[in-house]
Amino acid sequence: MVLANTDPERKRIVIQRVSQLPTLPTTLVKILQAAENPSTSSGDIALVISKDQSISSMVLKLVNSAFYGHFRNISSISHAIVILGMQTVKSLALGATIFRTQPGAGVAAFDRNAFWIHSIGVATMARRLMTKGAEAPGVDKETVFVSGLLHDLGKVVFDNYFNEEYREAARQAEEKKITIREAERLLLGLDHCEAGRFLAQKWQFPAPVLEAIELHHDMERAAAAGARVAALAHIADFGCQKINLGKSGNGKPSALDPRALEILNIPESLIAETFSEIEGEKEMIEGFGID
């Protein structure tokens, strides 16, 4: 039995553990070390990523997928870096690695495959909203895609490294009909937005990705910060839930905050059109399983 814990000390311990993450896969550590070294070239990063078959194939599968929007055949990681940029490929590789990591001894708190589809769905939808006219000046479409893909990173971190507490949080969210964020705060002292932001910051993700992770449920702060990518992730998160694409493990369904439309200065019709477009592509996105 895990007891509810709102003790600030608990929060401090969780944050400390999140920023240490002792059981990172070796490839992830190597990618991070290579990326942190100022003399590292994109070729060096490509070499590190290429050595791990499963990460390379995940990155290549993503960049070559029709819904990602590149219709050229990208066959090597170094080519992917040229097309997408080092930051994006690094973020994709890190995201793919952490999403594939399963809880050590425990059982996942939520359906990982359905969650991966949710993440791909949010990424695709956020990117599509941009293509259709939602503007985020200075941010490219690849970064928006990665932001959508990783917006719920904190949930995977909780599930992998605080599995027992997180299973209890998921159970309580379901039972008490509260949001998963409320349950997370109750059991772990902080929610997946805050935990994800700590990790993303440590990994030096680009600023729009950090914003999407931290603010996708908080349009008040997103509006104050002018965080357009967070608004895109918020709308896409709601959209995927509405068209029933994947599962976010959220407990009580979340509502669409109209402030997201104001931040992006877009009409409701653009959202409705995007939702139905993606709904038409559901099968293709659902086919993009994690295995």
**Which residues of the shown chain bind Fe ion in the complex (CB under 5 A)?**
152, 237, 248
Q: How far is the CB of 250 from Fe ion (least distance, A)?
A: 7
Cα 71 off chain centre by: 23
- How far apart, in whole angstroms, are the C-alpha atoms of residue 103 and residue 159? 6
Nearer to Fe ion, 152 or 168 (CB): 152
User: Which residues touch 183 (CB under 8 Å, ≥6 apart)?
Assistant: 169, 170, 172, 173, 176, 251
Phi, psi of 179 (to 5 degrees): -75, 160
Closer Cβ to Fe ion, 49 or 199, answer by number: 199
Rounded least distance, CB 26 to Fe ion, Å: 29
Q: Which residue has the tokens 């935990």?
A: 195
Position with the least CB separation from Fe ion: 248
Query: Which residue, 142 or 237, has its beta carbon nearer to Fe ion?
Result: 237
What's the closest the beta carbon of residue 143 comes to Fe ion, in angstroms? 18
The candidate with the shortest Cα–Cα distance to 82, out of 112, 33, 41, is: 41
52 versus 152: smaller Cβ distance to Fe ion: 152
Question: To the nearest whole angstrom, how small is the minimum distance from the Cβ of residue 9 to Fe ion?
Answer: 25
Amino acid identity for residue 113 in this structure: N
Q: Quote the CA–CA distance of 18 and 178 in Å, as a whole number.
A: 24
CB of 152 to Fe ion, least distance (A): 4
**Site of tokens 């200075």:** 138
Burial class (CB in 10 A: 0-12, 13-18, 19+), 46: buried
**Residue closer to Fe ion (CB basis): 194 or 237:** 237
CA–CA dist 114, 95 (Å, integer): 16
For residue 55, what are the CA distances in angstroms to 24, 77, 82, 100, 219?
14, 10, 18, 9, 33
Q: What minimum distance in Å lies between the beta carbon of 105 and Fe ion? A: 25
Q: Which two tokens stand for residue 15?
A: 């944050």
| Closer to Fe ion by Cβ: residue 14 or 60 | 14
DSSP-derived letter for residue 67 is G
Choose between 168 and 184: whose C-beta lies nearer to Fe ion: 184
In angstroms, give the least distance from the CB of 76 to Fe ion.
31
